[in-house]
Amino acid sequence: MTTLQLFSSDRYADPVGLETYRSHTGQEFKVSKLVTGTPSDVFDAWIRHIWLAGGDQVHEGAGRGYIGSVRRVPLRVEEEILSAGLPGAKIPSISYRVRKPGPFPLQSHLAMVHFMDASDPGMEVRETSKAPMTLVLWTVKTELTNTCNWLHCGSLVRLIFRTALKTFLRTLAQETSCN
């Protein structure tokens, strides 16, 4: 597939969001999936099928990227979209954070979803499909509470998050392949 390295910030529609993510401390994990559709179509599908359908809206967001949107997902976890780089000539992305961690022992959780054109010369994606394809790269940085660190529960927490994100990406791939 690809080495999953992030491009330089000047390639992104939201370079400030990318730099904020890069400078955030915490342990990082990544999940990715090749999805049918252009980055613009997949960006919109992620908003519709993952963000909006995946929780109750606590606060409406602004614009196509739903900036400022707050949603409540199961276990009373609240997430907020901080910034969005809208589709265009550069790599679109969405940055969000967990505002209220519910039962999870988190000090911080910052995530960025990248929608990269698989036909971009900088990508190392080997796909023979005639349809446009987008590599969705979901990167997350978490800082756990001291208690969680002391109890060594971080691996379990990250496993839960990674499993959930992989499920969301499978849903996204199914939804975009139906359109």
Please write the tens of the pLDDT for every residue from 99-148.
999 999 999 999 999 999 998 776 666 666 688 999 999 999 999 998 88
The residue assigned the tokens 């900036």 is 67
Please write the tens of the pLDDT for every residue from 79-99.
999 999 999 999 999 999 999
Q: Is the dihedral of CA 164, 26, 124, 91 positive or negative?
A: positive
pLDDT of residue 8: 86
Closest CA to 134 of 24, 43, 21: 43
E-only strand ranges, 20-160:
27-36, 56-59, 70-73, 77-85, 93-100, 106-117, 133-144
pLDDT band at 179 (very low <50, low <70, confident <90, very high): low
CB distance 49 to 172 below 8 Å: yes
According to DSSP, residue 166 is labeled H
Closest CA to 116 of 30, 51, 49: 30
State the Cα–Cα distance between residues 114 and 136, nearest whole angstrom. Answer: 6
Which domains are assigned to the chain?
9-178 (3.30.530.20)
State the Cα–Cα distance between residues 151 and 166, nearest whole angstrom. Answer: 26
Angle at 87 between CA 74 and CA 37, to 5 degrees: 75
Please write the tens of the pLDDT for every residue from 22-46.
999 999 999 999 999 999 999 999 9
Whole-prediction pTM: 0.91
